[in-house]
Amino acid sequence: MMHSSPSVTTPVSAEPSSAPGLLQPIAEFLIRRRILLSAILFTLLIVSDVLFGSQPRDPLGLHDPLGAAGSLLVLGGLALRSWSAGILRKDAELTMTGPYRLIRNPLYVGSFLMMFGFCVLIDDPKNIWLILGPMLVIYIVKVRGEERLLSTRFSAQWPDYARRTPRFIPRIARASLRADWRAAQWMHSREYQALGATLSALVAIKIWHLI
């Protein structure tokens, strides 16, 4: 999560679940498969939209405010994820620089911006509830589990960091966002997969819009 002076890493591979009893294995399964589940949900919703003759917004259409807003959300979320992934040092330190100086979970916030942006581009209101609703529950459970692990692993830094840094919504404050971004770390995090998948999805939506 951030680094203002020293860096400190935020493991994204924590024991995630805070759900008790029988819900715990279910929650852990859903959390581990969250990316696959979101992809499946999106695919099913898009197939239904195509079958029922819906048409998406033009992701390159600057004349369409909603289409432009959807693309900006997708690209902004992707940029936030890439920025965060190049700074995060999993299991080594509690990262507190760059985007982690503003919020504790910039990778997840970036993912939600992208999902919301795609929902806007697909232009079917039910998608927002069917995609973001279940994903929000899964991510909240995961974040709570990760934060419990971080508070144990980095017990000296975590209380002060958690007190001054919001989980998801940044406070308006002046802060230096400089950080040691490394392309090697970005590659190690395999963020290139998110980049390739996002660009492919935008191209597919553009083609769908033209059909």
Measure the CA–CA gap between 24 and 82, rounded to whole angstroms. 30
Measure the CA–CA gap between 120 and 112, rounded to whole angstroms. 12
pLDDT at 70: 94
pLDDT at 29: 72
* Per-residue pLDDT tens listing for the chain (211 residues): 444 444 444 444 444 444 445 556 766 676 677 677 777 777 777 777 777 777 899 999 888 999 999 999 999 999 999 999 999 987 788 999 999 999 999 999 999 999 899 989 988 877 777 777 777 888 888 888 889 999 999 999 999 999 999 999 998 776 788 888 999 999 998 899 889 989 988 998 998 888 8
- Annotate 172-200 with b (16+ C-beta within 10 A) or e (fewer): eeeeeeebeeeeebbeebebeebeeebee
Does an H or E element contain 194, and which? helix 191-210
For residue range 110-129, what is the model confidence (pLDDT) as tens digits?
Answer: 999 998 999 899 888 777 77
Measure the CA–CA gap between 123 and 90, rounded to whole angstroms. 37
Answer positive or negative: Cα dihedral of 132, 16, 188, 96.
Answer: positive
Measure the CA–CA gap between 73 and 71, rounded to whole angstroms. 5
pLDDT at 184: 94
- What's the pTM? 0.80
* Residues 6+ away with beta carbon under 8 Å from 195: 78, 82
Task: Provide the 8-state DSSP code for 104.
Answer: S
pLDDT at 78: 96
User: How many CA atoms, within 13 angstroms, populate the side-chain half-sphere of residue 7?
Assistant: 21
Measure the CA–CA gap between 211 and 208, rounded to whole angstroms. 5
Best CA proximity match to 16, nearest among 30, 25, 28: 28
Return the amino acid letter for 132.
L
Best CA proximity match to 145, nearest among 21, 12, 56, 17: 17
